[in-house]
């Protein structure tokens, strides 16, 4: 079989380095949280204009969209924006966290020149899958037939029609990408025994990162169909295999226990990113159903003061375990789960946030968390405080890099904390209420922290010498005046006799 990566039409390529269109002012600070943005470039349609395939578009069922030149104008169906497309304001800030590094999954990034090398590896995974199953001659054809039945449903899943991709090519892409993921999860379960592709240390990390990108998702119903057609007796479920594979990407590097695996084993998730997201919001102390509308007053640039100012108010920081979302203030102790920061942290957080931004039905837990982290980590000093408490562990080289990761999380984020639902409302109010009680203390310590004591000492030293100089001059002046008076008295002639 020919490499499917060479057969696709180049008109479907996305230009990741294209110049971005103007989409409005960028969200740069928490004071602009309520600013509204569009989720794309300029929308338009022309009923007289032809599509890429030469067919006239019915304006009632499709519009044409220019998505910041990331790909040529395409036709999307009547369902509107794709829930798998990165919002343009977020992509404009930093595109790197949303772009696959070594493997493309699905149609958005398919056939990009930098990712074509993996097409050969996908074919090898498919061959390996077939060799280890019975009915080898008919298995591949069975997979293709199953994907043909799901093609229409899969195209609708992306909202974009992707008319440049022919039906046979689209089906072949589903087979190759789906079998690659399913067989990859099985290889990981067996510790990659007999697979030389994973001999390098960077392979698994980069592939797992790519598989959690919002624009790099296959529908879960495609993966389940392929898994069921190729499953072996006694094999773990697809969900369990996926959770074990993505476990190293958890922010706290904590392990799944059997209870957590069983809880999610039969859940309904639309794709792998949704599955990963659900495992992070299902901690023992996280209750999405109890979300309430927020009416928070922001004390500074964000939801709370930064770590340095909070420490002035007497708040102590303590590391905890469990869900990254489980942040709470107990007395004067702010408990925050440990976060291990590495090169995969920014893509993971940014795509979780993008997933929430594109789905109103998904609780905005990571949008809230991003606002909190951007508030509490303002400078390198804040990073050091959290590192000393064991809350942040990183191998980024410099603390500045960690601060930059947190400060960029909210760029392009469309979220008004005063109107949206925030699971941290109660804890944020407690933190801010505590700071109000220590407001004078905080202000005084913050003022002294901003003073340059070396300059202050030099200034005081200069003032001291000026004062001493003035005093000496005055003393000398008085002494001179006294001597002059005494001299004048001696030199004056005696009074004349009467």
**Residue 220 reports pLDDT greater than 90:** yes
pTM over 0.75: no
Choosing from 416, 437, 458, the residue where a domain stops is 437
The pLDDT value recorded for residue 453 is 57
pLDDT band at 138 (very low <50, low <70, confident <90, very high): confident
Average pLDDT over residues 462-467: 77
**Residue 38 reports pLDDT greater than 70:** no
Same domain, 383 and 429: yes
Choosing from 230, 245, 279, the residue where a domain stops is 279
Is 146 a member of any domain? yes
Same domain, 328 and 420: yes
Calculate the dihedral angle through the C-alpha atoms of 17, 23, 25, 30, rounding to the nearest 10 degrees: -80
The pLDDT value recorded for residue 77 is 41
pLDDT band at 258 (very low <50, low <70, confident <90, very high): confident
Same domain, 396 and 321: yes
Same domain, 269 and 156: yes
Is 82 a member of any domain? no
Same domain, 265 and 354: no
Same domain, 311 and 406: yes
**Burial degree of 164 (CB within 10 A; 0-12, 13-18, 19+):** buried
Same domain, 321 and 204: no
Same domain, 368 and 392: yes
Same domain, 392 and 310: yes
The pLDDT value recorded for residue 451 is 61
Same domain, 248 and 111: yes
pLDDT band at 301 (very low <50, low <70, confident <90, very high): low
Same domain, 275 and 292: no
Average pLDDT over residues 431-440: 82
Same domain, 113 and 197: yes
Q: Which of 159-173, 239-253, 272-286, 482-496 is the least confident region?
A: 482-496
The pLDDT value recorded for residue 445 is 61
Give residue-wise pLDDT tens across range 321-339: 888 899 999 999 999 999 9
Give residue-wise pLDDT tens across range 95-128: 899 999 999 999 999 888 999 889 999 999 998 8
Contact 23, 89 (CB under 8 A): yes
Give residue-wise pLDDT tens across range 229-244: 998 888 889 999 999 9
Is 61 a member of any domain? no
Is 81 a member of any domain? no
Contact 376, 304 (CB under 8 A): yes
Is 237 a member of any domain? yes
Is 91 a member of any domain? no
Choosing from 393, 415, 437, the residue where a domain stops is 437
Average pLDDT over residues 128-152: 86
Give the structural domain span for 432: 288-437
What is the rounded average pLDDT for all residues in the chain?
Answer: 76
Is 292 a member of any domain? yes
Q: How many domains does the chain have?
A: 2
The pLDDT value recorded for residue 313 is 87
Is 29 a member of any domain? no
Q: Which of 139-148, 177-186, 187-196 is the least confident region?
A: 187-196
């Amino acid at each position: 079989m020919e490499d499917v990566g060479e057969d696709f039409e180049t008109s479907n390529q996305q230009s990741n380095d294209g110049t971005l269109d103007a989409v409005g002012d960028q969200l740069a600070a928490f004071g602009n949280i309520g600013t509204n943005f569009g989720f794309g470039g300029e929308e338009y349609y022309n009923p007289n204009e032809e599509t890429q395939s030469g067919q006239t578009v019915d304006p009632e069922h499709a519009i044409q969209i220019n998505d910041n030149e990331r790909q040529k104008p395409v036709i999307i169906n009547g369902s509107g924006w794709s829930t798998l497309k990165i919002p343009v304001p977020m992509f404009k800030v930093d595109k790197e966290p949303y772009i696959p590094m070594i493997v493309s999954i699905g149609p958005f990034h398919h056939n990009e020149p930098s990712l074509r090398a993996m097409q050969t590896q996908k074919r090898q995974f498919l061959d390996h899958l077939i060799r280890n199953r019975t009915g080898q001659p008919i298995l591949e054809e069975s997979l293709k037939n199953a994907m043909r039945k799901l093609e229409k449903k899969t195209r609708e899943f992306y909202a974009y029609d992707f008319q440049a991709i022919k039906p046979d090519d689209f089906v072949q892409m589903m087979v190759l990408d789906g079998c690659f993921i399913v067989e990859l999860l099985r290889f990981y379960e067996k510790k990659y025994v007999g697979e030389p592709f994973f001999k390098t240390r960077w392979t698994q990390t980069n592939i797992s990162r790519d598989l959690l990108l919002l624009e790099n998702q296959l529908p879960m119903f495609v993966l389940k169909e392929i898994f069921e057609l190729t499953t072996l007796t006694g094999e773990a479920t697809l969900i369990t295999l996926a959770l074990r594979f993505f476990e190293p990407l958890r922010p706290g590097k904590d392990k799944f226990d059997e209870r957590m695996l069983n809880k999610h084993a039969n859940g309904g998730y639309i794709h792998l990113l949704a599955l990963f997201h659900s495992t992070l919001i299902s901690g023992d102390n996280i209750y999405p159903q109890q979300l309430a509308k927020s009416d928070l007053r922001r004390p500074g640039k964000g939801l709370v003061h930064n770590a340095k100012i909070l420490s002035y108010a007497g708040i102590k920081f303590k590391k905890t375990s469990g869900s990254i979302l489980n942040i709470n203030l107990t007395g004067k102790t702010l408990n925050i789960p440990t976060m291990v920061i590495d090169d995969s942290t920014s893509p993971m957080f940014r795509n979780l946030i993008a997933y929430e931004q594109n789905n109103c039905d998904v609780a905005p837990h990571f949008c809230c968390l991003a606002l909190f982290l951007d508030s509490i980590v303002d400078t390198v000093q804040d990073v050091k405080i959290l590192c000393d408490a064991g809350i942040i562990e990183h191998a980024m080289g410099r603390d500045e890099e960690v601060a930059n990761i947190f400060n960029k999380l909210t760029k392009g984020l469309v979220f008004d904390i005063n109107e949206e639902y925030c699971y941290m409302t109660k804890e944020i109010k407690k933190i801010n209420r505590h700071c109000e009680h220590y407001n004078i203390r905080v202000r005084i310590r913050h003022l002294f922290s901003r003073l340059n004591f070396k300059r202050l000492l030099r200034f005081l030293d200069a003032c001291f010498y000026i004062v001493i100089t003035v005093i000496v001059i005055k003393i000398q002046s008085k002494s001179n005046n006294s001597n002059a008076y005494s001299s004048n008295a001696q030199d004056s002639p005696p009074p004349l006799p009467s």
